[in-house]
Amino acid sequence: MAAIDLIVLGMIKQTPQSAYDLQKNVEYRNISRWVKISTPSIYKKVVQMEEKGYIKGTVTKDGKMPEKSIYEITPEGDAYFEKLMEKTAMQSVSIFLDFNAVIMSLDFAEPAKREELLEHIRKGISDLKEVIGENSRKRTHIPMTGQTILEQQYLMASSMEDWIVKFMSEYLGKDPGKDLGSDAGGEKI
């Protein structure tokens, strides 16, 4: 997957690091919230990239700590990184939301279950918005590119929150906005 390649290469390009450090940086930056990436996929990707010659690991030992490989980007990796950046930037934008499968199938759920399912989706969107806002307030020291992604994600979550409240009102025939505490004002992050 190009996104994982870009993230791994970009992080190593910024600072040579171990696979463990990469995984910790992905966790710290909450990257898995906006790109499908998992800890096992990072380790697997590091092995694949080293085999392809995009990165090179140097085994180090610090005191009594176990040996670890610190990876640096190679000239081939740099060229691949640039190619992926260009290719990915030129792709049409696609947004896949797993809950859309539920929305598409609502009519086939028991009528009593529909509101519950929609409420779960609404709560998930609201929770996402809250987490993103909190991360944005806490992580003021991250680069502008990271901040702008947090802002983008917050705005998308805000729009989805408005959308789900409107959809619930129309689909269920009642106004959930009064009970759900919808932030129609679009709070700034």
**Is residue 4 within 8 Å of residue 42, measured between CB atoms?**
yes
- Percent of the chain at pLDDT > 70 equals 90
Pairing type for strands 68-73 and 55-60 reads antiparallel
What pTM did the predictor assign? Answer: 0.71
Question: Of the candidates 23, 26, 24, 81, which has an alpha carbon nearest to the alpha carbon of residue 52?
Answer: 81
> Could you read off the pLDDT of 138-176 as tens digits, one per residue?
877 778 888 888 899 899 999 999 999 999 999 998 765
- Amino acid letter for position 173: G
**At 100, is the pLDDT very low, low, confident or very high (cuts 50, 70, 90)?**
very high
Question: Of the candidates 94, 15, 1, which has an alpha carbon nearest to the alpha carbon of residue 49?
Answer: 1
pLDDT for residue 186: 47
**At 12, is the pLDDT very low, low, confident or very high (cuts 50, 70, 90)?**
very high
The yes-or-no verdict on residue 184 having pLDDT over 60 is no
In whole angstroms, how large is the CA radius of gyration of the chain? 21
10 Å Cβ neighbour count for 169? Answer: 15
> Could you read off the pLDDT of 114-130 as tens digits, one per residue?
999 999 999 999 999 99
CA pair distance 133, 157, nearest whole angstrom: 10
CA pair distance 147, 48, nearest whole angstrom: 30
pLDDT for residue 132: 87
> Could you read off the pLDDT of 73-95 as tens digits, one per residue?
999 999 999 999 999 999 988 88
pLDDT for residue 83: 96
More confident residue, 97 or 104: 104
> What sign has the CA pseudo-torsion 133, 137, 142, 144?
positive
More confident residue, 90 or 33: 90
pLDDT for residue 183: 47
pLDDT for residue 178: 52
Question: Of the candidates 74, 120, 78, 70, which has an alpha carbon nearest to the alpha carbon of residue 99?
Answer: 120
pLDDT for residue 123: 96
